Each structure stands twice: as structure tokens, then as C-alpha cells.
């Protein structure tokens, strides 16, 4: 492909960026005692080595009022400088520029300290709708102190050798709260008119520019629309951008979408696969009409071809491709070399990137477990000796195991009993809005075939085949099958499992109940599929809410879809049985009965049972055996891929 724009340089203030791909600020949770540490440095270096033009480091806290026990960078003291300097040295060695973001979350923060909720601050004492904080209105003295904190923090980042500073005024954080008249009811110089509501941002920019001088770039990240009932809309944000065009201290605007102050806006912080790719680009184009300097954009830009199109259309000057770079740090280099088919495309699952963050875990990727684990797995060592390795099962675990084993120098034969590779990922991609999950299979298959794995479909591994293949080691990745609870379920017109519904091998009736034990994508997906086919659906979940075990942005977006489709959700119930037209549940806390009457179809989504029949056969032959994925214990694709990698590294 002829890259006319993507790999051209861009001047931002006094800083030249070598190409138009950048990694946006996102939390890795690699800070220790508030300072960047070696895992963070290795993580960012991997993306710089992959050809990224610019990396914006995660939002650091510029003032004590925003600091919590979460492992996020604390830029309020000089202790952060050596860690920042280490990241800068490693990133600069690859020709990549490094900016640092400063972010004060205001009221949109749990702000836990020693297990207790801290005091949050905002423009006014008005609650958010996600973290359920009632903030304290900031005094004039505190505002002055916060502005000074931004400036002092920026000076520290400049001293560490960073190339630019980004002020976070996006996603409903503190500065956005001041800009928003629905959050800002102040009667002083920081409230009322737009000029007053912009005062915190303008004074912060002036103070930061004074602290860092003209050698560093200075930008602001803005949400072009917040999508919350009390959030700033596009028209209001464009008016703000027009004002910012006159701010001489400012070199760029970084356009994103959404707000962390409520469930509806939060999904845009890291939009999942149900959201259209590059949907943010038209918003950036509107900003570019109001702002005369560089405009960055991010939001589901998952392929370099998409980024090239955005640049060619003049919608933005730089494209944030953060999750694409988490999935494949080498994406820019591969694109530049024309190796588009080798790019491991992000599938927007959100499971190990933002999903890990919300669990308090360090960042990774379900497709590329090396991400976030660069110091441990960054260098794939060759095998000590070549061996013949049989991989039983062509789902995510088997494909990853086969690819890694072959790259390490083993002869690898992968057998899949069915006609297609992919395992349960083939089911996931059949659900509404989940088509991109099939990219997991495509990416892993490409990885395995490129590594030289011999793949045989429609073939099950047996004791005889292991002898015929003269196998030295076996990786068992045979997955799972639907689990049926030990209940009397035979009297209703139709009792089926979720797989049958997804695969289309049954025709459900008009009034269905989905009994969802796992509280994950299966129950939600089946409920949506049935509702879209015209079925009345009740989704009964054995958890505190439907989608309890999914990443919250994905879950909340999905729940909104089910609500619009009229799906009834019953939480905290476990299946007890059924008769001719009624499904019976027991409330999981009270143990009281819950009845769903007028039912013709019960869909049982009660998880999976491991398929490990081959395990004793392999052991009887005395072969080295490794298990990966659901055949050990049914979980998710993340564990399957990770364990597949571990199994191959253990050979």
C-alpha cells in the first residue's frame, strides 16, 4: 500500500513527530510508590521499537487532592523524575517522541485511601452518576494550588527529558467539570460565563507553559461530545475549541469522546467491538474546522488503512491507535513494510487492556500476552533441541501453543477434530455485534501458519495417531462442551443449551428464558440474538447483574442494548427446574422461589465442562504432557491464549 500520509512527519509546536501513529495516554498500573518503574519502561519501549511516532504516557496526578492508593504516577514530588527519565531514554533510542499527560479526575474517582473513600473535589457540590461521589466545591485557594501543582508537575516531566505535556480536560474529569455548566454552578470568576468556566484550563495552560518554556509541545485532550445526560454536547465543545484557537500557549488538541461520570458516556473511553471503527473521526474533523493547529484523534482506529483514510480526508493530523498497539506493538513497522496480513488486529474485546485496569491488574492483551509482560516474555528463546510436538485442538489455546512452539524450533503438528479452527471463538463471532471476535481466530491462525505449523482439520488425536506421529510431547487444548446442571428439565416444550441457539441448530419459541450461570458474553449474547429474532426474552442470571464477569464498558453498553430490545433481566437467581410452561428459580440470597410463567423455551447457559479424555491416553504412553485452556478448567479466551504460550515455552 502507498502510505502518502501515515508515515510522513508532523510538526507539533517545536517537536517533530516522525509519523502519524501515536499511543494515547492509558493507565498501565505499572507505577510503584507513585513512580514509573521498569515494567512501564519496557512496555513503552516495545511500542517505540515497533515504529510508533509518539507515545503519550498515562495520566499522572499533579496535586495531592487527586492521589489515591491506585498505582498511578504521582507527579507531585521529584521522586517521579528518574522513572520518567528512564522511559524517555528507552523511547528516544528508537526515534519516538514522548509526551506526559497530567490529569486530575475531580469527582470521577473512587479515591480510595487505606480502604476508605477520600474527599473528592469539583467545581460545585454536584454528584456524578458512576462513582457516586458527592464532591466538595473547590475553594479559590485550592484552585490556585491545583494550578500550581500542574505547573510544578510539568516542570518535573520536562526535567526528565519528555518532549511534551498534555493536559487532560477530557472524559468528564476536573477541568471538564469546570467547563460544563451542568457541573459548575459557581458564582465567582470560575463559573457562569463560558470565559469564566474556561478559566481553570486557561490559567493551567499559562502556568504550565511558563514552567516548561517553548521547547516542549503543549496540548489539551478534549472529549468532542460526552454523551451523558448532563454532559457537554458537540456544539458546546466546538465553541470551546473556537476559544482555544486563540490560546497562544497551545500546540494541539487531542480529540476523544465520552465521559467517565456515567455509564452511557464511559463506554467511549475504550469503545468495544460493538462500536464502529474510527467513529470518532468526524468529530475530530469538526474540531479541525475550529482549531488551526494540530488535531489528534483516537477512538477505535484499529487498522493502519483506517488511519491513512482519516489523514487523507483531512479529518485529523495524528491518529491514536492505542489498543491496536497493545495487540501488536510492531503494527507500524509491519504496515510500513507492507506486511498488512501479519498485523495482529485488535478485536475490541477490552478484556485484558482496560478490563485489567478495572480489576486493579497491570495491562495486557488476550491475543498477545507479552504485552505488559515484556520483561518476562519479551525475548522468545529458541528451544534447546528440536522435538516433535502434537497439539490437540485448534482453538485459541492450541493455535497459540502451536505458533510459539514452532517459532522456537519444534516440529509442530496441530490437529482439529472439526472442519474449522477456532473453538468457542467461532460461537462468539456469530452473536450480534461480536463479529470482530472472529479476528482472534484469523490472527492466531496466521501466526501459526507463518511459524510453520502443520495443521490437519477433521482429525482427532488418538493414542494410535500419537504413536504414528512419533510424538515427543503433547499439548492438550481440547476445550470444553456445554455443562448441564443435574436438574429435572424435561417437561417444558423446548429445553436447549446456548450453543444450539448460537449455532442455529434449534428454532426457539416466542417466549424464552435464558438461565445464565456464568454472567458473561454467552447469556447476554443469546438474549440479544433471541430478542432481535422477535422473541420475548427473560434473562435470569446467577449473579448481581447480567454481564457481571465482563469488562464494565462492554457490559454497560450491552445492557443498554438489551434494555432497548425489551429484554427483562432477573438477577441473583439459580435454576431449579421447569414444568409445562414455567421455569423455576431460587433467589441466591433468600432461597425464595422465583417463577417465570408462560415460557415455551428454556435456554441453559450454565458454563462448560472440560474435554480432557485424551489426558490418560497421553500419560499411558509416557509422553510429556501440557494442558492449556478450557481442558484444564473452563474460563475465557485470555487464559486459553496465555496458557497456550506457557505450554509452548515449557517444551
Q: What is the pLDDT of residues 561-584, one digit of tens each?
A: 999 999 999 999 999 999 999 999
Task: Report the chain's mean pLDDT, rounded to a whole number.
Answer: 97
Segment 383-398 shows an average pLDDT of 97
Residue 75, C-alpha cell as written in the block: 507527579
Residues 6 or more apart whose Cβ sits within 8 Å of residue 441:
396, 399, 421, 422, 425, 426, 429
> Which stretches of 393-430 are assigned E, i.e. beta strand?
411-415
H or E element: which one contains 83?
helix 81-92
What is the predicted pLDDT for the residue at 233? 96
Give the bridge partners for 318, in sequence order.
296
Q: Note the helical H segments in 489-636.
A: 498-503, 521-532, 552-564, 614-620
* Residue pLDDT, tens place only, 415-457: 999 999 999 999 999 999 999 999 999 999 999 999 999 999 9
* Residue pLDDT, tens place only, 287-345: 999 999 999 999 999 999 999 999 999 999 999 999 999 999 999 999 999 999 999 99
Burial 220-230 (b: 16+ CB within 10 A, else e): bbbbbbbbbeb
If you search the block for the grid coordinates 485550592, which residue do you land on? 142
- Residue 110: pLDDT over 90: no
- Residue 82: pLDDT over 90: yes
- Nearest C-alpha neighbor of 348 from the set 370, 330, 322: 322
Maximal C-alpha separation, the chain: 83
Segment 132-160 shows an average pLDDT of 97
Residue 31: CB atoms within 10 Å: 22
- Residue 493: pLDDT over 90: no
Residue 261, C-alpha cell as written in the block: 461520570
Is the Cβ–Cβ distance between 182 and 107 less than 8 Å? no
- Angstrom CA distances, 213 to 88, 101, 158, 595, stand at 19, 17, 9, 69
Residue 307, C-alpha cell as written in the block: 488511519
pLDDT band at 488 (very low <50, low <70, confident <90, very high): confident
Sign of CA dihedral 151, 157, 163, 168: negative
What is the predicted pLDDT for the residue at 132? 94
Please state the pTM of the whole predicted model: 0.97
Segment 248-266 shows an average pLDDT of 96
Q: What is the DSSP letter of 7?
A: T
CA distance linking residue 515 with residue 523, whole number of Å: 8
Segment 531-560 shows an average pLDDT of 97
- Angstrom CA distances, 355 to 171, 176, 222, 272, 638, stand at 17, 24, 23, 11, 11
- Residue 260: pLDDT over 90: yes
Segment 141-170 shows an average pLDDT of 98
Domains and CATH numbers, the chain: 10-376 (3.20.20.70), 380-481+610-649 (3.40.50.720), 494-606 (3.50.50.60)
CA distance linking residue 77 with residue 72, whole number of Å: 13
- Residue 1: pLDDT over 90: no
What is the predicted pLDDT for the residue at 490? 80
- Residue 365: pLDDT over 90: yes
> Which stretches of 416-567 are assigned E, i.e. beta strand?
454-456, 473-476, 480-482, 494-497, 511-516, 536-541
Query: What are the backbone angles phi and psi of residue 98, rounded to the nearest 5°?
Result: -130, 120
Burial 579-598 (b: 16+ CB within 10 A, else e): eeebbbbbeeeeeeebebee
Cα 603 to its chain centre, rounded Å, is: 29
Amino acid at each position: 500500500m502507498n502510505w502518502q500520509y501515515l508515515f510522513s512527519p508532523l510538526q507539533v509546536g517545536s517537536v517533530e513527530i516522525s509519523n502519524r501513529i501515536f499511543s494515547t495516554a492509558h493507565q498501565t498500573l505499572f507505577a510503584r510508590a507513585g513512580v514509573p518503574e521498569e515494567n512501564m519502561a519496557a512496555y513503552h519501549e516495545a511500542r517505540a521499537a515497533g515504529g510508533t511516532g509518539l507515545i503519550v504516557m498515562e495520566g499522572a496526578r499533579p496535586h495531592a487532592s487527586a492521589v489515591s492508593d491506585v498505582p498511578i504516577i504521582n507527579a507531585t514530588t521529584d521522586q517521579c523524575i528518574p522513572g520518567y527519565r528512564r522511559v524517555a531514554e528507552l523511547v528516544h533510542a528508537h526515534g519516538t517522541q514522548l509526551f506526559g499527560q497530567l490529569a486530575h479526575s475531580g469527582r470521577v474517582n473512587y479515591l480510595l485511601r487505606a480502604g476508605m473513600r477520600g474527599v473528592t473535589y469539583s467545581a460545585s457540590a454536584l454528584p456524578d452518576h458512576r462513582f457516586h461521589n458527592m464532591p466538595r466545591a473547590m475553594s479559590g485557594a485550592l484552585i490556585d494550588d491545583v494550578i500550581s501543582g500542574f505547573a510544578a508537575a510539568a516542570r518535573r516531566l520536562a526535567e526528565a527529558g519528555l518532549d511534551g505535556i498534555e493536559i487532560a480536560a477530557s472524559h468528564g474529569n476536573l477541568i471538564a467539570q469546570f467547563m460544563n455548566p451542568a457541573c459548575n454552578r459557581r458564582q465567582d470568576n470560575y463559573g457562569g460565563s463560558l470565559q469564566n468556566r474556561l478559566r481553570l484550563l486557561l490559567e493551567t495552560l499559562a502556568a504550565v507553559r511558563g514552567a516548561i518554556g517553548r521547547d516542549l509541545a503543549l496540548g489539551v485532550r478534549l472529549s468532542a461530545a460526552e454523551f451523558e445526560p448532563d454532559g457537554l454536547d458537540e456544539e458546546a465543545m466546538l465553541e470551546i475549541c473556537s476559544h482555544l484557537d486563540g490560546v497562544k500557549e497551545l500546540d494541539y488538541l487531542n480529540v476523544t469522546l465520552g465521559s467517565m461520570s456515567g455509564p452511557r458516556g464511559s463506554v467511549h473511553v475504550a469503545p468495544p467491538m460493538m462500536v464502529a471503527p474510527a467513529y470518532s473521526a468526524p468529530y475530530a474533523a469538526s474540531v479541525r474546522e475550529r482549531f488551526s493547529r494540530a488535531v489528534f484523534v483516537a477512538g477505535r482506529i484499529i487498522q493502519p488503512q483506517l488511519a491513512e483514510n482519516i489523514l487523507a480526508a483531512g479529518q485529523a493530523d495524528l491518529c491514536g491507535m492505542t489498543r491496536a498497539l497493545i495487540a501488536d506493538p510492531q503494527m507500524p513497522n509491519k504496515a510500513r513494510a507492507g506486511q498488512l496480513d501479519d498485523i495482529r488486529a485488535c478485536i475490541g474485546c477490552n478484556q485484558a487492556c482496560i478490563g485489567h485496569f478495572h480489576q486493579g491488574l497491570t495491562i495486557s492483551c488476550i491475543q498477545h500476552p507479552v504485552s505488559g509482560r515484556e520483561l518476562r516474555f519479551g525475548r522468545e528463546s529458541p528451544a534447546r533441541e528440536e522435538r516433535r510436538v502434537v497439539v490437540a485442538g485448534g482453538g485459541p489455546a492450541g493455535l497459540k501453543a502451536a505458533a510459539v512452539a514452532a517459532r522456537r524450533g519444534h516440529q509442530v503438528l496441530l490437529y482439529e477434530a472439526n472442519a474449522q479452527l477456532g473453538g468457542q471463538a467461532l460461537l462468539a463471532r456469530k452473536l450480534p455485534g461480536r463479529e470482530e471476535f472472529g479476528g482472534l481466530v484469523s490472527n492466531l491462525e496466521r501466526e501459526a501458519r507463518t511459524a510453520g505449523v502443520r495443521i490437519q482439520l477433521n482429525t482427532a488425536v488418538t493414542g494410535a495417531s500419537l504413536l504414528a506421529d512419533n510424538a515427543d510431547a503433547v499439548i492438550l487444548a481440547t476445550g470444553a462442551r456445554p455443562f448441564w446442571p443435574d436438574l429435572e428439565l424435561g417437561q417444558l416444550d423446548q429445553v436447549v443449551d446456548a450453543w444450539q441457539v448460537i449455532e442455529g441448530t434449534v428454532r426457539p419459541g416466542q417466549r424464552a428464558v435464558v438461565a445464565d450461570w456464568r454472567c458473561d458474553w454467552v447469556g447476554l449474547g443469546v438474549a440479544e440474538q433471541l430478542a432481535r429474532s422477535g422473541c420475548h426474552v427473560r434473562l435470569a442470571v446467577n449473579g448481581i447483574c447480567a454481564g457481571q464477569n465482563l469488562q464494565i464498558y462492554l457490559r454497560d453498553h450491552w445492557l443498554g442494548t438489551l434494555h432497548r430490545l425489551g429484554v427483562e433481566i432477573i438477577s441473583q437467581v439459580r435454576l431449579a427446574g421447569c414444568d409445562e410452561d414455567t421455569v423455576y428459580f431460587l433467589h441466591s440470597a433468600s432461597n425464595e422461589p422465583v417463577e417465570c410463567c408462560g415460557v415455551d423455551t428454556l435456554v441453559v447457559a450454565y458454563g462448560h465442562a472440560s474435554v480432557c479424555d485424551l489426558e490418560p491416553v497421553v500419560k499411558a504412553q509416557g509422553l510429556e504432557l501440557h494442558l492449556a485452556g478450557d481442558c484444564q478448567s473452563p474460563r475465557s479466551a485470555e487464559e486459553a491464549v496465555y496458557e497456550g504460550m506457557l505450554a509452548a515455552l515449557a517444551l
